[in-house]
Amino acid sequence: MKSLAEVMRTRRSEIVSAWERDPHDESTYVPKLFDDLLASLEHFEGGDEARAGRKIASGLLPQRRGASIAAVLRDLGRLREQIIEVALPAVASAEVRPDGVRFVHAALDECMRDAAVGMENAEAADRERIVAVLGHDLRTPLNAIKLAGALLLADDLTDEQTSFAQKIVRAADRMNRMIGDLLDFAALRAGTLVVDRKRCDIASVTGEVIDELRLAHADRLVAFDAEG
């Protein structure tokens, strides 16, 4: 009686051809994943399905970086379908042992779980890197705006012009704090945030926001009262 790995290896071309959706797009990915599965099956069959699944997933993730989790799980599901089409008749004819089929199912289940978690973690890390880079890059033009506002305040201006220049500087300061909050959020998600709590005047902060709203909507009356 043959092992399932032996049967699958003799029908490798058939399984891979039926599995591939687009040979030009997936020609390097599909055969490699199938060969990883065969190697794990030959090494672990009848043994540690979880370890086999993790081994398959570790080879899968670098090849499918950038793909969606749904696409990867769909591909693994189609691989399972092709293996079942080959394995079930072989089991029915007593050509292979049933435990080989059970092993493949368990190994692919573990591979799917491991791949989903790994890809989700990789996507989260990519998002945090983008947020951090964007936050730092935004500060360069923001500093130029703040400097321009400070230079305006150094000139002899009318009261109205001084008020506008002050709003520019305050808005730049607020945007800088927002960028800081964005970077803090990224650090929080990464587990590296150090919290430094301190008192603040909420009425003053709210007043600054209201001043920006008045500037952006000069045709509207925006009223603000605070107590305490």
pLDDT (0 to 100) of residue 97: 66
CB atoms within 10 A of CB 158: 8
What pTM did the predictor assign? 0.48
Given a cut of 50, the residues of the chain with pLDDT beneath it are: 22-27
Cα angle, residue 172 at apex, residues 166 and 173 outer, rounded to 5°: 90
DSSP for 81-129 reads: HHHHHHHHHHHHTTSB-HHHHHHHHHHHHHHHHHHHHHHHHHHHHHHHH
Structure-derived torsion over alpha carbons of residues 164, 167, 172, 178, reported in degrees to the nearest 10: -150
pLDDT (0 to 100) of residue 24: 41
Strand partners, 96: 2
Residue type, 26: E
Q: Which residue do the tokens 């430094």 mark?
A: 196
pLDDT (0 to 100) of residue 192: 75
Rg, Å, the chain Cα set? 30
Q: Which residue do the tokens 């008192």 mark?
A: 199
pLDDT (0 to 100) of residue 154: 84
Query: In this structure, what token pair is assigned to residue 165?
Result: 């220049």
